[in-house]
Structure 1
């Protein structure tokens, strides 16, 4: 690999940089000629849904309804490269563990089911029948079915597959259904039901087109959901105010040049996105939002005292909300010095946001994992809701709360039953529907599954998609514990780190991808997914499977279920495997209020939207109203010692060339990082204060009093525009620094955006010194 360098990036998001990146990955994956045909059906009616992010799919799509990251995800799946049994015959598992994520996945699409052979330390071919029989036999032999088996799924699993997988787990005897939502937006699922009575956002594309103000917190659309930049560009051009709170100045929230506009590409002139940009410190969002709320309340009090019109929506507050007076008294008692210190911002910055908010008629609050992955994540999301409620900006057109989900169907799989919390799924209905008694005790979420593995309670871990071991915290503890499992099943399409940590028995079971045609004895089959706005869309694969030896996730679930479970005439596994419409009939019977006329409606342009009671101002909360939630305090991490001048707050980041644990390359174009991912972004003042040098290799060490040494060495110091006292490093490499027990209170979402660490010198500089930080 070439020498690592850092050169600040000054161009807008999108533009020629995006076009070059797309061309590069299509060439590298050997699909430059064939990809355009597949991409023509991307996010289209009767086509397939993006296998990357969950951003909204419009009823009238653009001719090229995809973004740079969407193309990367397509190229990653339809790659010409193949990872065959011959590959595994040449490499031991121990050797492959020395490869990084990018190199592993560049081996290509997996083509055959494989079984780990401990004697040779290699994966060897196995027939599907042998694999299914052995997995089923092992599952049946688990003595403690309540605790001993875990059924994990990633957000790429379809609604149909998710429903069957959840049914299988409950028929087996537990609710141990952790998923990727536990790692990102579980905080949303806990916070919003208390505040407004539903666990998903309230905003549609129509609302985005009508809002006159957007408040952004902890979300980076330029890298995480680039198609979102299209409505933001339109909003900026019509004069809407876009106010951003984020520790880093992300290019996609500064300027955007639409690569689908020939005029813009020729002129090179981008569109300003954010009208205000406030670099809140990591973990300071709760205080910043409290400061904005305080300023709004003060503006209202002053207006009323002067005999003017009220700023708050008093009618809405009186009819539709509960707890406002308690919250208002709490705000009035807050000290501006404390709000400034905890947010890292000046009072004037919070007041400037409040001024714009008070003048705006339709406001949308948008947030991502910058809010959810904190110890105080639940209260922070609820504080954003509080702000919107103050002026009636929830439950009406052009306004609302918009959590931006990352994984493509992570919201949909929750809707149809992938949840460890029994109260979130109608167990009484499936009990009647399938004539069995489902388990009523809460199962493991991601953190609890990790704790159970560390405690030796888990025998079998079934991973349906994803790269669980790499995505979770505390790698130093979890990886050795993972090797002690009796059986690990990796249902994946490409090789990843989790598969290289085999238990006593381990299988790699490759399946067809979402873009690939799924044909059964009954003919071509369709699937469905839900986007971040709660719209459900149909999906038809358009490519031939990467190998004739691949099977669908649906078929795999049905075959293992038939071999594992006692026969139940009400559960028609054979019919589900052949005709996916039969699965949708079962979903509609379980959830008729959402999935009525499912078979037809999923092909409607733009999909069909699940019922959103909040948009009718129906609040399904304990009070029957929207609730103002008053936080207990503004502290971020009471359980971790984070005092002292040398303790810094680490926030984990995704690069521009990455989707979750999938790494497409070693460059992060928007941050100017090239040829490496082993960097720590630091403020120049912190570098000088701690006696470090740009380009120097350092070790990060977690500050925690649990007697465990968590450290990461060989990280290169990069001077960057980041708040003093905060540093940034890439996920998942930095997950080794995050304790399992460091999670959001109430949701147990890993608190990856604020990890107290210290920095220690490793040696000499290796980063190109002439490409030092310059202000952007």
Structure 2
């Protein structure tokens, strides 16, 4: 290592006069966070035994993030977030018929998201009674019969079947089959709002819709680049992998507008010495706070440096043999890199040329590099271009399709990737419809269905009449939330399958049911005995999951049983469609999955509990490129910004955040420990920008969407907090500021909402200030 190379966390952007959490991620802070949830939820006896089985062969797979499960697990193979999710599920509190008899739906809308879920586990199937504005107890038979009758009266194309990302492969397969037998491909899921840009973009550039890495690659890489991903809050178990890589000499560079503690330093709760004596592990060698939307420019700067160094250096840096055999478009790409000026790169990225050249030099010296990213890259109007540039950087040195290298998105929900694998998609071209015809003797619908943003548009224009939600809190998660909220109650049918009460349940349609299901850690006992389910993680590994806890209520059904019950009540008999048999024995569903996707699920039932899971295969990993050109494709960018609208004048670019005390729309508490923040009704902005706009610390403000389309979008009741951010941007919490995001403001190819780059104005909120003064 030369004397001028970075040896620890460096950042040209850090502002020391702004508050942020200064302790390492993990360590005692994580243990205290888990202890607080234990005290808050008072889980049923045996919660610790349940956690000890979590993410281990023969145990249950965590319902939190989708990070992979190792072949040789730690004694405690769960993180702070995973423990919170499991404890949240195992609460002693119950939300049953007595609770609903005491509270109208209108009254319940006054509760916060956190307080709604704290009412406890749902225990009985409930039907909405409009006369009393209450949910009332019903039977499963009545619920299935009523849902089937309403579906029978509706045009299938006017209904939507949504999945949240936690449903098992078995449930997802049956849910998709139900939709197609019924007559539509309206199968959006939570990935439409998060990583759909990955599915569309990577498919375009390298021919697969998922990342190319497996866990073993992290033992062989010598450089990792992180872009737009906050692993400390969103996938903390990944930190153990990064810690090991860093301690064996792997270089790590991070690009993110916010300095996230998980990518600064980490103390392993599994390591007694590090918990008590030895210092935390530094994660990032270099941490660069890129402007929101400036990732394209940053990547251009790195690529430009690599090409320059290749031309100047006696040692060949660019892998021309790989380019010749496996790629297309390099010459146009290289010409474009040379054409773009450093002034434009620095202005758009907000980063110094010297820092980007340092990263370029580190990349030139590295033999094997992995590119990691999250929603900071995908949730932009030109998120696809972010991915195109990222892939191009990796292609320059042959870093896709070999050990220790590749591109690796970090997914959120624990099976959101797997749901797509087994048929949850609105695109019929991605489904093996010939297999479905053969197996089930019907003609699958071939018209493209609705994704999540198309669902929102259908709510707004009234073309969507029926909705079934397999988990999730979609009414809270979508863009243009306030415009859409009144539309949910206009639906003819609204069915919510859930474990706890949330805001989506409080906008019932004319015919509505609330159906409670098991959580993954609970025993799922059917006709042939206890059942296992499966899921796919971020690294395309398939894992079996086996719950042992006693269900929270004898009235609960599994997701498989609920889907099968609705389908049986809706569809005409078909001798090839055996809902009762499949419900009684989930291995029969896995046989169907194997028959439908034989290349991915060979010997599915036999490999159920493979330690570390089994890999479903990846053609790009084998350097087989299933693209239009038959090769991996370089992307020559026409613009350097991923934003759909650059901020100008008094406009700012808003980035949405999640705290370490939430998972998606589930809010465990109101402390964002890893950022040193309290409360959620806040707007983060750097002090210089605060001064420029005439604002003061703690001042009540409102955010206004700066996109003009005839609809006013405002979120009030916020307060200003000075924070370490780049110029020109603000940050606020998801889902509180979702009303500011127009449904049409989304990635150009995938239609993923552009939550990470929304043009807004920040204004004093005099009304909020007066209200607080009165209090």
Q: Same fold (TM over 0.5)?
A: yes
| Partner deviation per Cα, 1:78-110 (whole Å, 9 max, x = no partner) | 111111111111111111111111000000000
Question: In the TM superposition, what whole-angstrom CA distance separates every residue of 1:573-612 from its partner, at most 9, and x where no partner exists?
Answer: 1100111011011111000001111001121111110111
The superposition leaves residues 245-296 of structure 1 with CA deviations (integer Å, 9 ceiling, x where unpaired) of: 0000000000100111111111262110000000001111111111111111
Q: Tell whether the 8 Å contact from 1:679 to 1:716 is kept in structure 2 after alignment.
A: yes
Other structure's SS at 1:555 match: helix
Alpha-carbon distance between aligned partners in 2 of 1:18 and 1:566, rounded to the nearest angstrom: 52
8 Å CA contact retained: 1:696, 1:766: no
Residue 675 of structure 2: aligned partner:
671
Residue 108, structure 1, aligned to residue 120, structure 2: yes
| SS in structure 2 of the partner of residue 733 of structure 1 | coil
Structure 2 contact 342–353 (Cα < 8 Å) conserved? yes
Q: In the alignment, is the contact (CA less than 8 A) between 2:105 and 2:506 conserved in 1?
A: yes
The equivalent of 2:582 in structure 1 is: 576
Within 2, Cα distance between the matches of 1:578 and 1:109? 25
User: Structure 1 residue 222 and structure 2 residue 225: aligned?
Assistant: no
- Residues in 2 aligned to 1:754 and 1:615: alpha-carbon distance in whole angstroms: 32
Structure 1 partner of 2:156 = 145
Give me the whole-angstrom Cα distance separating, in 2, the residues matched to 1:411 and 1:646.
39
Q: For 1:54 and 1:501, how far apart are their aligned partners in 2?
A: 30
Distance 1:515 1:608 in 2: 21
Stretch of structure 1 that moved more, 610-619 or 484-493: 610-619
Q: Shift of residue 673 of structure 1?
A: 1.2
Quick one: which of 15, 18, 24 aligns to 2:27? 15
Q: After the TM superposition, which segments of 4 or more aligned residues of structure 1 sit over 6 Å from their partners?
A: 764-768
Alignment match, 1:352? 358
Instruction: Please report how far the alpha carbon of residue 33 of structure 1 lies from its aligned counterpart in structure 2 after TM superposition.
Output: 5.1
Deviations, residues 725-748 of structure 1 (Å, cap 9, x unaligned): 111100000101000001011000
* Structure 2 CA distance for partners of 1:609 and 1:276, relative to 1, 3 Å: same
Do the aligned partners of 1:15 and 1:268 also contact (CA within 8 Å) in 2?
no
**Quick check: 1:117–1:123 contact (8 Å CA) kept in 2?**
yes
* Alignment check: 8 A CA contact 1:695 1:766 kept: no
Q: Would the alpha carbon gap of residues 372 and 506 (structure 1) be closer, same or farther in structure 2, given more than 3 Å must change?
A: same
Q: CA deviation at 1:50?
A: 0.8
CA distance in structure 2 between the partners assigned to 1:165 and 1:643 by the alignment:
42
After superposition, give the CA deviation of every residue in 1:291-341 in whole Å (9 maximum; x if it has no partner): 1111111111222xxxx1221011111111111111111111111111111
Question: Partner residue of 1:158?
Answer: 168
Tell me how far 1:45 sits from its aligned partner: 0.5
Q: Using the alignment, how far apart are the partners of 1:280 and 1:746 within structure 2?
A: 23
Work out which of the residue numbers 743, 746, 749 in structure 2 matches 1:746: 749
Instruction: Name the structure 2 match of 1:264.
Output: 274
CA distance in 1, matches of 2:445, 2:45: 51
Distance (whole Å) between structure 2 residues aligned to residue 289 and residue 39 of structure 1: 41
| Residue in structure 2 matching 1:294, options 283, 294, 304 | 304
Describe how 1:453-468 pairs up with structure 2 within 5 A: 453-468=459-474
How far apart, CA to CA, are the structure 2 residues paired with 1:290 and 1:344? 13
Q: Confirm or deny that 1:254 pairs with 2:264.
A: yes
SS of 2:412's partner is: coil
Find out whether 1:450 has 2:456 as its counterpart.
yes
Q: What is the distance in 2 between the residues matched to 1:375 and 1:41?
A: 41
Q: Which residue of 2 aligns with 1:74?
A: 86
Match of 1:118 in 2: 130
Using the TM superposition, name which of 48-57 and 566-575 deviates more. Answer: 566-575
Residue 619 of structure 1, CA deviation: 1.2
Whole-angstrom distance in 2 between the partners of 1:184 and 1:610:
22
Distance 1:24 1:705 in 2: 44
Q: Is the 8 A contact 1:695 1:767 kept in 2?
A: no
Structure 1 residues 533-588: Cα deviation after superposition (integer angstroms, max 9, x where no partner) = 00001010020111001111111111111111111111111100111011011111
CA contact (8 A) 1:152 1:179 kept: yes
- The residue aligned with 2:538 is 532
- The Cα of 1:636 is off from its aligned counterpart by 3.2
Q: Give the number of equivalent residue pairs.
A: 754
What corresponds to 2:47 in structure 1?
Answer: 35
Query: Which blocks of at least 5 consecutive residues in structure 2 are unaligned?
Result: 1-17
Distance in 1 separating the partners of 2:648 and 2:373: 30
Is the 2:226–2:253 contact (alpha carbons within 8 Å) kept by the matching residues of 1? Answer: yes
Return the offset for 1:32. 7.7
- Find the counterpart in structure 2 of residue 371 from structure 1: 377
- Pairing 1:526-565 to 2, within 5 Å after superposition: 526-565=532-571
1:75-94 matches, within 5 Å, as 75-94=87-106
Q: Does 1:62 align with 2:65?
A: no
1:7 deviates by: 5.8
Q: Distance in 1 between matches of 2:542 and 2:147?
A: 33
Over residues 163-211 of structure 1, what are the superposed CA-to-partner deviations in whole Å (9 max), with x where a residue is unaligned? Answer: 0000000000010000011011100001111111111111111001111
Instruction: Report the CA distance shift for 1:310/1:765 in structure 2 as closer, same or farther (over 3 A).
Output: farther
- Report if the CA contact (8 A) 2:127-2:512 is conserved: yes
* Partner in structure 2 of residue 99 of structure 1: 111
Aligned CA distance change for structure 1 residues 449 and 705 (closer, same or farther; 3 Å): same
Decide which of 423, 430, 439 is 2:436's aligned counterpart. 430
Backbone CA RMSD of aligned residues = 1.4
- 1:513-528 to structure 2, matched below 5 A, reads 513-528=519-534
Q: 1:314 aligns with which of 314, 320, 325?
A: 320
Contact 1:286–1:379 (CA<8 Å) still a contact in 2?
A: yes
Q: Provide the residue aligned with 1:439 in structure 2.
A: 445
CA displacement at 1:766 relative to structure 2: 11
Q: Are 2:232 and 2:261, in contact at CA under 8 Å, matched by a contact in 1?
A: yes
Q: Distance in 1 between matches of 2:226 and 2:19?
A: 27
Q: Work out whether 1:390 is the aligned partner of 2:396.
A: yes
Instruction: Determine the C-alpha separation between the residues in 1 that align with 2:609 and 2:198.
Output: 28
Structure 1 pair 748–521 and aligned structure 2 pair: CA distance change class (3 A): same
1:702 aligns with 2:705: yes
Partner of 2:291, secondary structure, is: coil
Deviation track 1:360-408 (CA, whole Å, cap 9, x = no partner) reads 0010000000000000101101110100000000100000000001110
Write the distance in 2 (CA, Å) between the matches of 1:386 and 1:749: 22
Check whether the contact 2:80–2:236 (CA below 8 A) recurs between aligned residues.
Answer: yes
Q: Where does residue 285 of structure 2 map in the other structure?
A: 275
Conservation of the 8 A alpha-carbon contact between 1:152 and 1:461: yes
Residue 599 of structure 2 aligns to a residue whose secondary structure is helix
Task: Work out whether residues 647 and 728 of structure 2, in 8 Å CA contact, stay in contact via their aligned partners in 1.
Answer: no
Deviation for aligned residue 1:765: 7.2
Supply the distance in 1 between the matched residues of 2:225 and 2:771 (Cα, whole angstroms). Answer: 36
Is 1:24 equivalent to 2:27 in the alignment?
Answer: no
Aligned residues of 1:190 and 1:199 also touching (Cα < 8 A): yes
Alpha-carbon separation, structure 1, partners of 2:345 and 2:484: 37
Unpaired stretches in structure 1, ≥5 consecutive residues: 1-5, 769-776
Alpha-carbon shift at residue 644 of structure 1 (Å): 2.8
SS at match of 1:593: coil
Contact 1:695 1:765 in 2 (8 A): no
